[in-house]
Amino acid sequence: MGDRRPEARASSSPAVAASSEAEEIEVLESEDVLPMATEDHWKALFDQFDPESTGYISPEKFQNLLQRHGSELDPHKLEVLLALADNNSDGKICYQDFVNLMSNKRSNSFRQAILQGNRRLCSKALLEESGLSLSQRLIRHVAYETLPREIDRKWYYDSYTCCPPPWFMIAITIVEVAFFLYNGVVLDRFVLQVTHPLYLKNSLVYHPQLRAQAWRYLTYIFMHAGIEHLGLNVALQLLVGVPLEMVHGAARIGFVYIAGVVAGSLVVSVADMTAPVVGSSGGVYALLSAHLANIVMNWSGMKCQFKLLRMALALICMSFEFGRAVWLRFHPSAYPPCPHPSFVAHLGGVLVGITLGVVILRNYEQRLQDQSLWWIFIFIYVVFVLFAIFWNVFAYNLLDLKLPPPP
């Protein structure tokens, strides 16, 4: 999926220094000139309209700059900049907003200037564009699956280069499948592996008697109750997780996934204290609940096909998997007195998804540290983690619970 940006138009005349607003900007052509898309290049252009280094220029000067050098930009990015110039109510354009756009970092104030303005995007929607290659159609499809605003969809379509690819969800899935196959061969069982008497002896499973082994709060995702458990989790995390990672990046989607996994095991240690935990449902449900909540909150803007039917199917799949987990939890254990794995980890994932996950999905290409809700939910998450740690250290002894014996 190569870069679809138009080539920069060569300038045929030398640079002419000018202090007047009406004078044109020209750029020297030489092999030593910085690439046209670099921040230094655009800063030099901006500074020629801002000789006093105030950090602002008038919308008229900004329009002049865009008319001169617009051919160096992606067509959709140029359209966004023109909208910024038309919609600016302060009578000035901030240099930092301009540079953020050039470096693919959009500030909150920049987006608000676009969304609150009166100018409508003049070019046709992405769905109306024809002659696209297979990779371009795939990128367009992902944009419409995950982003509610046309301006964001165009931004993503122009910016995405598949470098890096969505490696996190693919890698985590491969590892989960590999561990399941290995355990299937060792236990000689692929359906309802959890009923095998040696299943809980694996050092990856979270077990309440071994809760001091901190890695188990995370590594339990590599153990699944059976092929029916693994299959549904893998299908959901690939169908939802890969497109989300293509748009929001491995760091953000990986954070939501891992936060859901850790929250899942901690919720079990607090609310279902005698049960073990297996499976990646905490992370999967964090991504699914965040994605579904984002669709509902932006219903009119989401243009994915058959969204109501697909939401219904997703909820049915989630309900089926959750129902299977509840049934298994209360089914007579094959190795009493230890019960079957808990279903409460699903709920921990949902809570992460509708809080931290929604904030991430609603702020595509925005600085999360500028969002007050982000810090509120981070604070709540950290408080819960600390509470769960103290609970695991002290509550089990104080409540004098009868825990199942170590595996």
Q: How far apart are CA 225 and CA 191, in angstroms?
A: 8
What lies within 8 Å, CB to CB, of 197 at 6+ separation is 334, 335
C-alpha–C-alpha distance, residues 261 and 229, integer Å: 16
Provide the terminal-to-terminal Cα distance of the chain, rounded to the nearest Å. 50
Q: Which helix (H) or strand (E) holds 57?
A: strand 56-57
- Identity of the amino acid at 293: A
DSSP structural state of residue 239: I
3-state secondary structure of 94: strand
Q: Is 346 a residue of the active site?
A: yes
Nearest to 276 by CA among 328, 311, 230: 328
The span from the CA of 228 to the CA of 191, in Å, is 7
Using alpha carbons, select from 228, 191, 205, 332 the residue that is nearest to residue 277: 205
Are 265 and 347 in contact by the 8 Å Cβ rule? The answer is no
Three-class secondary structure of residue 258 per DSSP = helix
Taking the alpha carbons of 112, 116, 119, 120 in that order, is the dihedral positive or negative? positive
- Catalytic: which of 265, 281, 289, 342? 281
The CA-based diameter of the chain, rounded to the nearest angstrom, is 86
Active site residue 340: no
DSSP-derived 3-state class of residue 93: strand
- Give the residue among 234, 264, 237 at the shortest CA–CA distance from 253: 237
Query: By CB neighbour count within 10 A (0-12 exposed, 13-18 middle, 19+ buried), where does 239 fall?
Result: middle
Q: What are the catalytic residues?
A: 281, 346
